[in-house]
Amino acid sequence: MSQIRGPFDEPPDTSFSRFVPALSVVIASTFAVWPVIASFPVFPPLGLLMLLGWRLSRPLSLPVWAALPLGLYDDLLSGQPLGNAMLFWTLCFFMIDLIDQRVVFRDFWQDWLIAGGSICFCLILGRLVASPLAAHVDTLLMLQIAVTTLLFPLATRICTMLTREEETV
């Protein structure tokens, strides 16, 4: 059913720019299948990084439910148990919404702290779900958390650059 717009309602966005955040997360998640030979596998979850970059830099760019299908796509490509990223990314979105309700103004340092907490949450719980407790991967997991958290400003910068390009078009 179509809803009737009022005289002061904005017309719906029909441009391609509304798909840019979701497509950038999908492209970043696709990098998980890139063949990389490494002695220490600390490749950061780029899909999660871009998702957090969009959510924290442009809060209205992705709806809350967008974490579910984007997490499904990441689960299918990364080899994690199905539903892992779907659940954890959605819980991160809920956590960020809760923080948005409580805190009126956020600084970039607070965004970085929120992103670091979300990255820790997703990677540690993902390790608990995907690998047995006897596996000795904790040191590499902490290194992966540190690398991913340090790459958050770059992800935010990429999101900002993509937004600027879409605003000038």
Mean predicted lDDT score pLDDT of the chain = 89
Mean local confidence (pLDDT), 105-120: 94
pLDDT per residue as tens digits for the range 132-155: 888 888 899 999 999 999 999 999
**How many Cβ atoms from other residues are within 10 Å of residue 45's Cβ?**
24
The share of the chain scoring above pLDDT 70, in percent, equals: 93
pLDDT digits (tens, 9 = 90+) for 38-74: 777 788 999 999 999 999 999 889 999 999 999 999 9
Residues 6+ apart with CB under 8 A from 50: 24, 25, 28, 29, 155, 158, 159
The mean pLDDT value for 104-133 works out to 93
| Predicted local distance difference test score (pLDDT) of residue 168 | 54
- Model confidence band, residue 2 (pLDDT cutoffs 50, 70, 90): low
